[in-house]
Structure 1
Amino acid sequence: MYCLERIKVNLVTHDVFSKTTTLYFEMGKNHLYEEIFSRNIEYLRKEVASQNAEFFFKIFFANDFPLKENRYRTLLLDSSVANNKAELLYKNLYSIFSMIHVEQTDPFQLHLGEINDLTGLLFNGVLSKEKLRYRKYGKKKGMFNQESFSMREELERYLNDFNHIAKEKKVEPIFLYVNFLIDFSSMQVFDMQYNEVLGNLIFYILMLENHFKAANYLSFYQKLYLYKTDYQDIFNQIDIQSKQGLADVMPLMSFFINIFNSIYVDLQETSRDYQYDQDIPINKTDYIENTIYKLGDVFSKEDIREKHPSVSNSTINRTLKRLSDENVIRAAGVGRKAKWVKLQKNNTKHKFDGQIKMDLGEK
């Protein structure tokens, strides 16, 4: 039995309902964030696409397709060439997230054609055609007779039911999408081991279509990566229950709502820093220096980048070099994983302490 068959009788728990209400309140501010980030939206979308590709790969593929850390950035270049299946899979993944976030594509439609196209794009050159075929299963018609069926027909029936429920608008959309993710994984639609991975990607696209616009500015999969063990534990437990026809979807629903709300909290802080960057007429290196003072005693360029997504790498590098020359900080390591260590204790008196106040609709 699929979760979708019982979706109208499953009651959303009070705590999940409360968290969902908070999420929709935050989603109601989407138009404000669109105005704030409008000047750098293309850059931000490209950054999100690359971050999603990297952390999606690390969550779902890194064990089966090992990839060197330095290749995550190199393979984003148009001139780069994949040397093995792991690198090809990563480039395929980046192309998909670029289509989702950067390119002006038509809205995603949940039907067989879209799922087939997405599967083909993701695993092109990585998995054999046999692995990408719909799984066949048999049903007994007698003691010695068994008829063979394809999951293609089963999935088509399921999608018809799903889209019918979606059009009725009587079920909360996120709850509907979580049920889809669980069902799609348990169906094992294709003859491959990555049905859950594909289902998760579809779930993410559906959330974007349902106005989860924070994911255009901050990486959803970078946040999920921080809690990947929790996610996998919850999902594995539900998958076992699903095979027994007793799946409780609420733990996964609650988990995702927490992730979404956390991203919106991060977005509030990022938007304040971003507008401060854009509107305050001060030297950018001084503002970067002020942020460094507020970071821990050991930090990375990525820590600065998260606070100032619109500031160029050259500005950050120039600030780090100046502070290094002044013996305020020193480098520990080289490359993307390099850390910086403060040689002086944090000073509570910063050059430009404080941030402008923004009206994001809070009361």
Structure 2
Amino acid sequence: MKCLSNMERLHLPNDLVMQLFRLYEQKGQSYYYKALFSRDDEVMARTTLELDTQALAYYLKLNLTPARIKLLSDPKKDFVAKNKDEILLKNLKEILSRVQQLADTFDLTTNEIKDLTLTMFRGYDDIRLIRDPKAKAERLAKSFEELTPEDKLKKIIELFHQHRRNNKYEMVQIMTNFYIDFVKLGLFSDRNDLIGLMTIYTLAAKYFKVCRYDSFFQALLPLQPQFDSGFIQASYNWSEGFSQTEPIQRILVNVLETLHKNVEIKAHEYEFERKMNKTNSIEGTVLSGPATFSKKDIRAKHPYASDATINRTLMSLKERGLIRPLGSGRTAQWLRVTDKLEKFNPQQLDLFNHAE
């Protein structure tokens, strides 16, 4: 636990401190988002789950086609896995789903990490805490290095909670140092980096509620090269207690800041659409969008509109001679037969209506 036990030596640059101020100012909006999205909370969580699962598949470079990844990521469908990569992705989707449901009640413990590992690699590989015959039980060991892997894990978790309770260090900083210590200690027989990453994600979901409304791993994916490079940099002088943890902390802060910015945009769009008749909104998308479109395109633009509302609107436009179908079935396309509207101003939008 070279990082967690030497945090007093860390100094945050001014620009990172200012970024953290902005992040926690944005974090204060969490209760507003929870109230705003309450009606469609589960829908948004399912969308986030799907995007997180897809991004993880690409992050881990699983040998799966994009079409298969999309299919396996669908929260509403449960498929039989055909190979080891599909088993791993299915297990990860289950973990992400549990985090979405139970992040508020999560408490970092040895048993939680052991259970996380068992769930993640169930049917995939036998990965568990290393059994070191030379290690000693906590009551017999004279130093941290002599402890069993399980006691080492217990110690770094205790130190994590000690820093958290003392309020001396910022939470992302504590999470970063925990992650580096966890991976460098190599307490499990394999995939310590993935176990550590999923633990950090679970902690992020607990302390930063926007992880429910936007994809953490989708924001992390383009930063993967920097994240890997940051870990290599943090590995230098780790055993001496002088690990450079700032690069990984910056990446995690950037990811969380991206999530807050994305959710802020979603909140504006959601509030606008909530005050607007959804049928008119869908009509506007059809009449001002591409000439050829599908129901899937409409769903992407209006994720909170029900299938019934979308179908009813399309039928209405068809009866009025504004669109016509091209084919049939779930993949059917539609063709707009009227001229494209450059601007669409729905009449039912009341700018001065403050009613919920």
TM-score normalized with structure 1 length: 0.77
Alpha-carbon shift at residue 199 of structure 1 (Å): 0.9
Per the alignment, residue 173 of structure 2 pairs with 175
Alignment of 1:242-253 (within 5 A): 242=238, 245-253=241-249
The one-letter amino acid of 1:247's match is S
Deviations 1:101-151 (CA, angstroms, capped at 9, x unpaired): 13x5772221211110111011111012xx323263868xxxxxxx98632
Per the alignment, residue 186 of structure 1 pairs with 184
Structure 1 unaligned regions, length at least 5? 140-146
Deviations 1:140-168 (CA, angstroms, capped at 9, x unpaired): xxxxxxx9863222222222222222221
Per the alignment, residue 53 of structure 2 pairs with 53
Alignment of 1:281-360 (within 5 A): 281=277, 283=279, 284-289=281-286, 292=289, 307-312=301-306, 349-351=343-345
Alpha-carbon shift at residue 319 of structure 1 (Å): 8.1
Alpha-carbon shift at residue 351 of structure 1 (Å): 4.1
Alpha-carbon shift at residue 240 of structure 1 (Å): 4.1
Is 1:137–1:151's contact at 8 Å kept on the other side of the alignment?
Answer: no
Alpha-carbon shift at residue 169 of structure 1 (Å): 1.6
Change (3 A) 1:149 1:357: farther
Per the alignment, residue 219 of structure 1 pairs with 215
Per the alignment, residue 202 of structure 1 pairs with 199
Per the alignment, residue 143 of structure 1 pairs with none
1:7 match: secondary structure: helix
Per the alignment, residue 6 of structure 2 pairs with 6
Change (3 A) 1:300 1:26: farther
Is 2:150–2:187's contact at 8 Å kept on the other side of the alignment?
Answer: yes
Alpha-carbon shift at residue 69 of structure 1 (Å): 2.3
Alpha-carbon shift at residue 70 of structure 1 (Å): 2.4
TM-score normalized with structure 2 length: 0.78
The one-letter amino acid of 2:186's match is Q
2:34 match: secondary structure: helix
Deviations 1:15-36 (CA, angstroms, capped at 9, x unpaired): 1110111011111111111121
State how far apart, in whole Å, the 2-side matches of 1:13 and 1:221 are.
Answer: 26
Per the alignment, residue 82 of structure 2 pairs with 83
Deviations 1:161-208 (CA, angstroms, capped at 9, x unpaired): 22222221211111111111111111111010x211111111111122
Report % sequence identity: 25
Change (3 A) 1:20 1:124: same
Alpha-carbon shift at residue 260 of structure 1 (Å): 1.2
Alpha-carbon shift at residue 313 of structure 1 (Å): 5.8
The one-letter amino acid of 2:265's match is E
Is 1:270–1:308's contact at 8 Å kept on the other side of the alignment?
Answer: no
Change (3 A) 1:182 1:358: farther
Per the alignment, residue 159 of structure 1 pairs with 157
State how far apart, in whole Å, the 2-side matches of 1:318 and 1:242 are.
Answer: 62
The one-letter amino acid of 2:153's match is L
Change (3 A) 1:220 1:299: farther
Is 2:103–2:205's contact at 8 Å kept on the other side of the alignment?
Answer: no
Deviations 1:219-250 (CA, angstroms, capped at 9, x unpaired): 11112123322322323332345356432111
Structure 2 unaligned regions, length at least 5? 136-144
Is 1:136–1:151's contact at 8 Å kept on the other side of the alignment?
Answer: yes
State how far apart, in whole Å, the 1-side matches of 2:18 and 2:133 are.
Answer: 41
Change (3 A) 1:313 1:260: farther
2:238 match: secondary structure: helix
The one-letter amino acid of 1:95's match is E
Per the alignment, residue 259 of structure 1 pairs with 255
Is 1:189–1:195's contact at 8 Å kept on the other side of the alignment?
Answer: yes
1:268 to 244, 248, 264: 264
The range that moved more, 157-166 or 14-23, is: 157-166
Is 1:223–1:263's contact at 8 Å kept on the other side of the alignment?
Answer: yes
